[in-house]
């Protein structure tokens, strides 16, 4: 991976110093610290380690991930992995970026709304395929190459809007958080399906609520807004698309007023 930062030798030294000061996991994600050829037998590399870890998480959940478990899947000793990945936390961060993959191919003929919608749908689909992805806390802004590629793609979608750069970043981050939130909701509701402690809103709320205290909620329940036993709006594809359309409608109006 090469970069032309310009600035001559002194500028190159500054760039090298900046890159060397990055956290080890960031350097690993960007391929800045690949180990040499010496060491464990050939066949082990960061990419293979992360790919196997993602496969384990897809099959058994992220709770199954440990350095020992991944090493066993690979047929290497646990200590061999530490030459490539410093810790389990680093491994999980690399997994999060690897599972996301690349954003959809750029289509220059699309309008900004259609392009942004296409990106959000693609993110929803890829995160849904790796359900464990949303089980992890969001502890820091994205810093892996795939995560940043998605952010770049969203900003590129928004370029024709003429919005200030900071606003475009805010729009992209909020849209991505909506996508992640919908996948998380769908996953958690699916996991709690059949829970005897869950409320059947359609049946319980009309009995439980006093009209003088909860007039709007009771009206919604009586109208069938909560369906037959679903305590929330649809958490599947239909629900995702409904919310996405609302967000894009609002954004379209926002762009119209601020362009």
- Tokens coding 86: 């410093």
pLDDT at 2: 42
Tens of pLDDT along 136-186?
A: 988 778 899 999 999 999 999 999 999 999 999 999 999 999 999 999 988
Tens of pLDDT along 201-248?
A: 788 888 899 999 999 999 988 888 876 544 444 558 888 999 999 999
- Tokens coding 104: 């959809």
Residue 100 has pLDDT above 80, yes or no: yes
Q: How many residues does the chain have?
A: 259
Range 150-187 burial, b when 16+ CB lie within 10 A, else e: bbebbebbbeebebeeeebeebbeebbebbbebbbbbb
19-98 and 101-192+230-259 share one fold? no
In order of 72, 73, 86, 132, 139, the CA distances from 96 in angstroms are 21, 19, 16, 9, 12
Q: Tell me the whole-structure pTM to 2 decimals.
A: 0.85
Taking residues 97-123, report their average pLDDT: 97
Nearest to 25 by CA among 88, 76, 71, 94: 94
**Domain map (residue ranges) of the chain:** 19-98, 101-192+230-259
Number of H helices, E strands in the chain: 12, 0
Answer whether 90's CB lies under 8 Å from 139's CB. no
- Choose which CATH entry (3.40.50.720, 1.10.10.60, 1.10.10.10, 3.90.580.10) describes domain 19-98: 1.10.10.60
Answer whether 199's CB lies under 8 Å from 226's CB. no
Answer whether 149's CB lies under 8 Å from 100's CB. no
Mean residue pLDDT across the chain: 88
Tens of pLDDT along 39-57?
A: 545 579 999 999 999 999 9
Fold (CATH) for 101-192+230-259: Tetracycline Repressor; domain 2 (1.10.357)
Tens of pLDDT along 54-71?
A: 999 999 999 999 999 999
pLDDT at 25: 92
């Amino acid at each position: 991976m090469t970069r032309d930062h310009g600035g001559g030798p002194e500028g190159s030294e500054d760039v090298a110093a900046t890159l060397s000061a990055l956290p080890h996991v960031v350097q690993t994600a960007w391929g800045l610290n690949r180990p040499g050829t010496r060491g464990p037998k050939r066949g082990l590399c960061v990419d293979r380690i992360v790919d196997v870890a993602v496969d384990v998480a897809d099959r058994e959940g992220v709770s199954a991930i440990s350095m020992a478990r991944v090493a066993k899947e690979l047929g290497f000793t646990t200590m061999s992995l530490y030459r490539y990945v410093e810790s389990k936390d680093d491994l999980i961060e690399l997994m999060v970026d690897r599972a996301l993959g690349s954003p959809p191919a750029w289509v220059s003929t699309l309008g900004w709304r259609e392009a942004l919608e296409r990106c959000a749908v693609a993110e929803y689909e890829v995160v849904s395929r790796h359900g464990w992805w949303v089980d992890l806390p969001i502890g820091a802004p994205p810093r892996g190459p795939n995560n940043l590629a998605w952010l770049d793609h969203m900003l590129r979608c928004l370029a024709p809007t003429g919005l200030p750069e900071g606003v475009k970043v805010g729009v992209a981050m909020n849209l991505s958080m909506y996508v992640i939130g919908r996948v998380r909701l769908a996953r958690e509701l699916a996991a709690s399906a059949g829970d005897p402690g869950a409320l059947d809103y359609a049946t319980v709320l009309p009995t439980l609520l006093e009209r003088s205290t909860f007039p709007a909620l009771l009206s919604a329940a009586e109208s069938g807004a909560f369906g037959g036993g679903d305590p929330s709006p649809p958490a599947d594809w239909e629900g995702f698309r409904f919310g996405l359309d609302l967000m894009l409608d609002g954004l379209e109006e926002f762009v119209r007023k601020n362009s």
